[in-house]
Amino acid sequence: MLHAKHFMYKQDKRTEKRKIGDIGEETACRFLMKRDFDIVERNHWRKWGEIDIVAKKDNKLHFIEVKTVSCENLTQNLGNVSRETDQYRPEDNLHYQKLERLKRVIQSYLLDNRVSHETDWQFDVITVRLDIKNKQAKVEYIEDIIL
């Protein structure tokens, strides 16, 4: 028989990349809520892709992709991104195939949730640069990207 103490130390099996991504998504949600967005759904998943955040503000739906990178020392050098070149930007991960998958997931969301064709919506990207060591984040909100 197993005792409760055997369940107290559940191992976190997420990869480091996933952990960084989760912190970025949580940071993005807090950023949006401070700006009067309502978070409708997180991690809307279909087998062909996922939307990180579905939010609403002023009767407009926002489908938001969050791109997070881990940086070293944000306060001294925002361009110094660990494991990447100095010219790297998180939004560079939005390649053609990813955008195509996002379009399909958005279309599915609109159909599955019977969102009226008259409802305004847009696609946005939030980039989060995390300085884990100093517990800081720099958030950039890129609005209304054409898919």
Domain count for the chain, please give it.
Answer: 1
**147 falls within a domain:** no
Question: Residue 103: which CATH number?
Answer: 3.40.1350.10
* pLDDT tens per residue across span 42-60: 999 999 899 999 999 999 9
In a domain, 57, yes or no: yes
Quick check: is 87 in a domain? yes
DSSP 119: S
Residue 1 lies in a domain: no
- Domain membership of residue 115 (yes or no) is yes
Q: What residue numbers bound the domain in which 31 lies?
A: 15-142
pLDDT of residue 92: 66
Q: What is the mean pLDDT of the chain?
A: 82
In-domain check, residue 72: yes
Residues 89-108 have pLDDT tens digits of 666 677 788 889 999 999 99
Note the pLDDT of residue 51: 95
Residue 6 is assigned to a structural domain of this protein: no
| Straight-line distance from the first to the last Cα atom of the chain, in angstroms, rounded to the nearest whole number | 55
pTM of the predicted model, to two decimals? 0.78
Q: Is the pLDDT of residue 140 over 70?
A: yes
